[in-house]
Each structure stands twice: as C-alpha cells, then as structure tokens.
Amino acid sequence: MTLIFDHSYARDLPGTYLRERPDPAPAPRLLALNEALARDLGLDPGDLGRHAAEWFSGAALPPGAEPIALAYAGHQFGGFSAQLGDGRAHLLGEMLTPKGRFDLQLKGSGRTAFSRGGDGKAAVGPMLREYLISEAMAALGVPTTRALAVVATGEEIWRDTGKLPGAVLARVAASHIRVGTFQFFAARGEVDQLRRLTAYTIARHYPDLAADDALGLFDAVADRQIRLIAQWMGLGFLHGVMNTDNMALSGETIDYGPCAFMEAYAPGTVFSSIDRQGRYAYANQPLILGWNLARLAEALLPLIDADQTRAVDLANAQLESIAPAYRVAWLSVMRAKLGLAGADPQDGALADDFLAAIAGADWTLSFRALAAAAEGRDADLLSLVADPGPLTAWLARWQSRLAPDAPAALRRANPAVIPRNHLVEAALSAATEGDLAPFEALLDAVRAPFDPEAGREAFTRPAPKDFGPYVTFCGT
C-alpha cells in the first residue's frame, strides 16, 4: 500500500492554518525508519524506505501531500500567547490506513509564518530523542504520537552549543488538535470557528457524541488525559513542558522536548532547563492536568451554554471532578504496579506508604524488584533504600494484599528497561557524530521493556554517580 492522503482538517476548517511548504533539504539521508509502524499503517517498509529521505526531509513531497502549518495559541509556563502555531512543522495531510486516519507531520522542516524569529530547523539529537522516547512510550502501553522516520538534511544549524547537523522528524499522530487550538479561536471571540472545530474534533475522536456536545467533548478529553497522566506518573515520566499547546485532544502524549524518566524518586524532580520554577515538576503534573483542562473549559464556555453563568457553573462542576477522578486512575495504575488483588479501601494508603519508603531510591528498579519480593526474595528491594525499616514493615502489609499470580503480573506491569538518561545522552551524542549503533541498540532495548533483565543488564542499571545532575533542553 502506498501513502493515501486526505485533507479533512484543511477542507473542513478554513482559517485554522496557513499554506506553507517545507524547506527542501540539500542532501537528505535516512537515519531511521520505523518499519514496524509502517507495517501497522499498511505501508511497505521497503517501498517507503526508497522514498523516505526525500519525502520526509522536504526535498520532495509525497504524492497527494498538501502541506500546511497549523494555527494555535497557548499558555506557556502560565503566560498566554494568543498566536503560536507551527513554527517549524508542516502537516502533509492525513494518511488513510487500515488502522484509521492519522496525521503525518514533518518537524524541523523550516520556517513558517508562525516561526517568531526562529529558523524552523531541528538538530539530529532532538529528533532522534523524540523517535526513541515515543517508541519507548508506545512499548510501555502509553498513548503517544509515533515517529515514522528521521532524516538528516545535510545542512548545519546553529544553536547555543555551536553548529549541529540538521534533521527532520516525520511524526504520526491521531491528530494535532490541541487545547491551544481551541484557545486560538476563543481568544478572538470566533464562536463559529469554535463550533466548527468542536464538531470536527468530536467526529474525528469521539464519534459517539453529538456534534454540538461541547460539555461531552470536555468530559471525554478529561477522561483520556486523566488516564494518560496517571500512566506517566506510574512510569516516573516527566514531560517537561506541559503547556496547553502540548496537550492533544486525542489523549496522546505529544511533543517530546525536554522529557526524561526519573531515576531516584523525588517528587520535586525537574529536568527541563527552562522550567526554573518547577512548574512542571514530577509531582506537579497532575495539578497541571487540571489547570490545562480548566483552560479548555474556558475556551468552550460559549458552546457549553448560551447563558454564561450557567456555562460557568456546568464547567466548574466538571472541573471539580478531575482531582478525585485522577486519584481513581492513579490508584488503578498503582494497584497493577503493586500486584494487588482486587480493590481495598486501604490501597491508597498502601501505595502512598510504599512511595514514602522508597524516597531517594531508583523508581524503576524499586517497582521491578517487587516481583522477587512477592516470591519471598526481598533483599534486592531492601538494598535499594537507605533505611530498610519502613519498607520491611510495609512488605508485611503488602503480602496480605497480593494477587495469586503476583510475580508474573508484577513483571508485566513494571518495566525492566526504560530510556535511562545517561544512555539516551550517550546514544544521541554518538549519533550526532555519525555513529548510530548505540542509538539502535538502545532503541531495541526500550522496545521490549518488560522482557527479562538477563543479558540486558547494561540497559537496566541507573546512571553512574558522576553522571548528574541531569538537565534537558527543548531542542528548538
């Protein structure tokens, strides 16, 4: 099957984009092709590979592509910008596949009218980073955008660290409709555009709703986002830049900029160099979930009810349900990670007490070690904490709540391999210098996160003590 494009977003929502063409890459070279994803989309990886360097670099457009740059607004670190938009991305169109309709977007493909002074380009390291982390998230069962390919452009771009090799990412997404997309029209008072956008989003992602059910759309989006962030928290994942323009209404994780996985458990963990106040710290992610959803509710108010007072009351009632709904979703994640049988009113306290007992210990190793503890071998788990006393007492309570198949269930719920930060940095540094072997080895490992550790110990160990402190960057 070849690429088959449709352009329903451009056709149905005029005024939500600008016609823009990617910059042609001078010497495109394919760095990575996601063959498994290509097959899932009904594409022939061999045929796609013959065209990928040109099609996914801007050097040539795939047949049927009609590139556009999407308009959106957003709250970035709390401050509102009424116009952001795709400053370095081009949506080629919507692929029609046996699995459904998916956006195909190029990222790092050049300036658009939304670039705001930027060069619109991206470097090899950040594009491979998004490929790697999004593949890890997909393997971990987290809803996410995916990378179809990364192509080196053959040009150099300037960043604070000097010249870097340029690259373009081809990203597949259920859509690129964001909270910021709704904010864009709400800020302009364009209610008719909001109404069309709402109907389009419902038709594309929530077809069981009536086309004008704005409150139903909010509830559906909130439900997906609540479950998504609960999954992030269970994995120790930090998105790093949870701006409203980075919250997708499809419920997918989108825009892997300064993201990373927490190693030593510390609720205040921040990796992003630009998050100087800790707004998007690990423990704050559920709070920002509610904050971002409140901004979506504000944008939808004219559609929720013609009476503004009633609209506000209805929206507030739904917003008040987010925190308790998140706690339920988080407990569901934690019950699986702790291997518990059924549900008990004390499970929340059991989960909270476990986290208190492993403070400072490696998050991923601590949960993975529970499988051995369920088999009566708790030495590995106890060795991870500075004071084993609280954890020893906790283990006695935990044993009474275990499911009959707890060891196997625990190994299915808790990964052995995550993208360890020191390995990610080493792989991306090598790739920037032209050596893709470490990247490919790490990619293979994170695609099988729950497989046994034997023979893969290099991918399961925490960073060496001289690695930190770890800082991530947006890659813009």
Q: Give the span between the Cα atoms of 449 and 200, in whole angstroms.
A: 36
Q: Which long-range contacts (CB under 8 A, 24 or more apart) does 39-45 make?
A: 40/99, 41/95, 41/97, 41/98, 41/99, 41/102, 41/148, 41/172, 42/1, 42/97, 42/98, 42/99, 43/1, 43/2, 43/3, 43/97, 44/1, 44/2
Mean pLDDT confidence for 98-103? 96
35 and 141 together in one domain: yes
Kindly list the distances between the CA atom of residue 233 and the CA atoms of 327, 331, 341, in Å, as whole numbers in the listed order: 11, 11, 21
70 and 197 together in one domain: no
Mean pLDDT confidence for 209-223? 98
- The number of C-alpha atoms within 13 Å of 338 and in the hemisphere containing its C-beta is 28
16 and 138 together in one domain: yes
Please name the residues in contact with 301: beta carbons below 8 A apart, sequence gap of 6 or more.
186, 308, 311, 312, 315
Mean pLDDT confidence for 196-208? 98
15 and 52 together in one domain: yes
Q: How many domains does the structure of the chain reveal? A: 2
What's the pLDDT at 417? 98
Q: How many angstroms separate the most distant Cα atoms in the chain? A: 64
Provide the pLDDT confidence category of residue 2 given band limits of 50, 70 and 90: confident
88 and 189 together in one domain: no
Q: Is residue 45 part of a domain?
A: yes
What number of H helices and E strands is found in the chain?
Answer: 19, 12
Q: Give the span between the Cα atoms of 423 and 419, in whole angstroms.
A: 7
Tell me: the pLDDT tens digits for 14-27?
999 999 999 999 99
Provide the pLDDT confidence category of residue 1 given band limits of 50, 70 and 90: low
| Tally of residues, the chain | 476
User: Are 196 and 220 contacting, i.e. CB atoms less than 8 angstroms apart?
Assistant: no
What's the pLDDT at 162? 85
Tell me: the pLDDT tens digits for 312-344?
999 999 999 999 999 999 999 999 999 999 999
Mean pLDDT confidence for 394-417? 97
133 and 243 together in one domain: no
Residue 302 is part of which domain span? Answer: 179-329
Judged against a pLDDT cut of 60, whether residue 476 lies above it is answered with no
Q: What is the mean pLDDT of the chain?
A: 96
Tell me: the pLDDT tens digits for 127-143?
999 999 999 999 999 99
Which among 314, 329, 344 is the end of a domain?
Answer: 329
| pTM as predicted | 0.96
87 and 136 together in one domain: yes
151 and 189 together in one domain: no
Q: Give the span between the Cα atoms of 476 and 246, in whole angstroms.
A: 15
Closest-CA residue to 329 (of 228, 404, 423): 228
Judged against a pLDDT cut of 70, whether residue 475 lies above it is answered with no
Looking at the annotation, which residues are catalytic? 245
Q: What are phi and psi of 292, to 5 degrees?
A: -65, -40
The owner of tokens 């790093």 is 240
194 and 229 together in one domain: yes
**What whole-number percentage of the chain has pLDDT above 70?**
99
Q: Is residue 344 part of a domain?
A: no
What's the pLDDT at 246? 97
What's the pLDDT at 286? 98
Q: Is residue 143 part of a domain?
A: yes
Mean pLDDT confidence for 375-379? 96
Q: What are phi and psi of 75, to 5 degrees?
A: -90, 115
Q: Give the span between the Cα atoms of 288 and 155, in whole angstroms.
A: 38
